[in-house]
Amino acid sequence: MDFLLIHLLNSLLFASVLFLTAGGLSLIYGVMRIVNLAHGNLYAFGAYVTAWAIGGVLAGAPTPLLYLLLPAGAVAAALLGAALEPTLLRPFYKRAEEYQLLVTFGLLMILEDLMRLLWGPYPLSASALWENSGSVTISGNPYPNYNLVVIAIGLVAAVFLWAFVYKTKFGVVLRATSQDMRMASALGIDVNRVYVQAFTLGCFMAGLGGAMIVPRDSAVLGMGVDALVLAFIVVVIGGLGSLEGALAGALIVGVVRELGITFFAEIELAVLYLIAVLVLLARPAGLFGRP
């Protein structure tokens, strides 16, 4: 029982990062009806930028300053998203979905090579933040403080996002466009602007997920694809296009993964897919999806 709280915190930690990546993927799909296969690499891009900033450029700076720079990766991913949507994605909205999949898949590969070109083939680490943050004692066992920071950022991001989508005028416009793009357009909403804003926000979330995790994990090539697969499991469970679904899916996956590792070590990798299969059988559109 000593470890119940630690297991719970581990689950929340995993869920926090998952929610940010899967939430971004879902938001973009909800508004623009695009399955962005390059989404995982925007997460990786955020991780690389933050690792580069706090592990390379400002290595040795005091810890509070490093914390301030943590979101650098999120901002960079958002800027990249803001540039990509109008140039690369917009010409393909009127085409069949296959084209969008091909374009975003191509983007996935280009981004992977771009990161290799910019930051080299080796893992890029920013572990000072992880190492300097120390541990707190939870029922006699040390627990890394940095994990608590990540969980807190995840919670704040979820609340902020909910307020943004449900309590602001921009949120109303976003939801209106999501429900009926033609009608929104007829009512005078600048759909192109909403699209670029939604895409930028989605990329910001992915980049933030990568930036938060990099002090613990270091940035490595291929991390984007792994994150994409996990994000897909979350949105399959929660329902593609739904932020509530992404939150519920992330929490379910976080808890199930922890239970899987603890009690079914032999099939750790399979457990998440089994959950997704069960949800698909019971509710093909996901828990919060619109059938």
Residues engaged in binding another protein (CB under 8 A): 2-3, 6-7, 10, 13-14, 116, 121-123, 125, 127, 130-131, 134-135, 141-144, 146-147, 213, 216-218, 220-223, 226, 257-258, 261-262, 265-266, 268-269
When the beta carbons of 56 and 123 are compared against another protein, the nearer one is: 123
When the beta carbons of 17 and 194 are compared against another protein, the nearer one is: 17
Q: How far is the CB of 204 from another protein (least distance, A)?
A: 22
3-state secondary structure the chain: CCCHHHHHHHHHHHHHHHHHHHHHHHHHHHHHCCCCCCHHHHHHHHHHHHHHHHHHHCCCCCHHHHHHHCCHHHHHHHHHHHHHHHHHHHHHCCCCHHHHHHHHHHHHHHHHHHHHHHHCCCCECCCHHHHHCCEEEECCEEEEHHHHHHHHHHHHHHHHHHHHHHHCHHHHHHHHHHHCHHHHHHCCCCHHHHHHHHHHHHHHHHHHHHHHHHHHHCECCCHHHHHHHHHHHHHHHHCCCCHHHHHHHHHHHHHHHHHHHHHCHHHHHHHHHHHHHHHHHHCCCCCCCCC
When the beta carbons of 56 and 91 are compared against another protein, the nearer one is: 56
Q: How far is the CB of 212 from another protein (least distance, A)?
A: 12
Q: How far is the CB of 235 from another protein (least distance, A)?
A: 20
Q: How far is the CB of 80 from another protein (least distance, A)?
A: 22
Q: How far is the CB of 194 from another protein (least distance, A)?
A: 35
- Determine contact, residues 40/235, Cβ cutoff 8 Å: no
When the beta carbons of 132 and 185 are compared against another protein, the nearer one is: 132
When the beta carbons of 159 and 261 are compared against another protein, the nearer one is: 261
Instruction: Give me the half-sphere count of Cα atoms (radius 13 Å) on the Cβ side of residue 167.
Output: 6
Q: How far is the CB of 6 from another protein (least distance, A)?
A: 5
Q: How far is the CB of 226 from another protein (least distance, A)?
A: 8
When the beta carbons of 6 and 189 are compared against another protein, the nearer one is: 6
When the beta carbons of 83 and 259 are compared against another protein, the nearer one is: 259
Name the one residue in this structure whose structure tokens are 């958002």.
Answer: 78
